[in-house]
């Protein structure tokens, strides 16, 4: 029985070696059928590689759901696996990342909680039980406008320009 297996293996190996050069010859000759087969094989290889490389990050994102009732704002996401909220408030996030174009009140308990909760990817997390403290911190965050005279309007998420020269320039001729 083992002799038959060896003969079969030898015959299979020989057939495979003769098929590959034949495939390459057909591909070089411009065979559409062989080009499609090669394209599908390359696509499968990239798909498998993509899945292997990104499967961990895709698994993390599948646990994230919007939960404004649990978290401090509608922009925050709730991770069902860890039961933590991820900061989604853009002004608080960039303030925590030490950007000087946004200001928040650093003396609030919400700031202290978030400052200690940064993960390796640069995201900030908090327990949903602290949502009120985090929301109070969020409410103090505003971006800095171009001048001290300009004012930020949270409903429009923009600064109101007050400089008359700039207003004239922006209005055009």
Type and span of the H or E element at 145: none
- Candidates 154, 155, 132; CA nearest to 143 is 154
Rounded to an integer, the average pLDDT of 75-99 is 93
101 DSSP assignment: T
**Cα dihedral sign for 13, 17, 22, 24?**
positive
**pLDDT band for position 145 (50/70/90)?**
confident
- Write down the pLDDT at residue 27: 65
**pLDDT band for position 23 (50/70/90)?**
low
Within 10 angstroms of residue 110's Cβ, the number of other Cβ atoms is: 23
* Buried residues in 87-97 as b, exposed as e (16+ CB within 10 A): bbbebbbbbbe
pLDDT digits (tens, 9 = 90+) for 97-111: 999 889 999 999 999
**Rounded CA separation 111/109 (Å):** 5
Instruction: Delimit the domains of the chain by residue range.
Output: 2-61, 64-140, 145-173
**Rounded CA separation 75/72 (Å):** 8
Within 10 angstroms of residue 23's Cβ, the number of other Cβ atoms is: 14
Distances (CA, A) of 166 to 145, 149, 151, 157, 172: 14, 13, 15, 20, 10
Q: In this structure, are residues 137 and 111 in contact, taking their beta carbons and an 8 Å threshold?
A: yes
Give the pair of three-digit tokens for residue 102: 């946004």
Judge whether residue 47 has pLDDT over 80: no
The angle formed by the CA atoms of residues 81, 84 and 86, to the nearest 5 degrees, is 115
**pLDDT band for position 159 (50/70/90)?**
confident
pLDDT digits (tens, 9 = 90+) for 116-133: 999 999 999 999 999 999
Which of 17-21, 56-60, 105-109, 152-156 is predicted least confidently? 56-60
The angle formed by the CA atoms of residues 92, 98 and 99, to the nearest 5 degrees, is 80
**pLDDT band for position 54 (50/70/90)?**
low
């Amino acid at each position: 029985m083992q002799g038959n297996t060896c003969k079969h293996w030898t015959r299979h190996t020989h057939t495979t070696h003769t098929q590959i050069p034949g495939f390459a010859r057909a591909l070089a000759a411009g065979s559409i059928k062989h080009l499609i087969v090669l394209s599908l094989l390359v696509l499968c290889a990239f798909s498998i590689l993509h899945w292997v490389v990104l499967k961990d990050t895709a698994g993390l994102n599948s646990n994230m759901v919007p939960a404004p009732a649990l978290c401090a704002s509608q922009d925050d996401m709730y991770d069902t696996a860890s039961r933590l909220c991820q900061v989604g408030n853009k002004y608080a996030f960039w303030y925590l990342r030490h950007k000087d174009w946004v200001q928040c009140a650093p003396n609030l308990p919400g700031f202290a909680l978030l400052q200690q909760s940064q993960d390796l990817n640069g995201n900030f997390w908090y327990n949903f039980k602290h949502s009120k403290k985090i929301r109070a911190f969020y409410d103090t965050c505003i971006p800095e406008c171009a001048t001290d005279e300009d004012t930020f309007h949270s409903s429009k998420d923009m600064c109101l320009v007050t400089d008359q020269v700039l207003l004239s320039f922006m209005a055009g001729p």
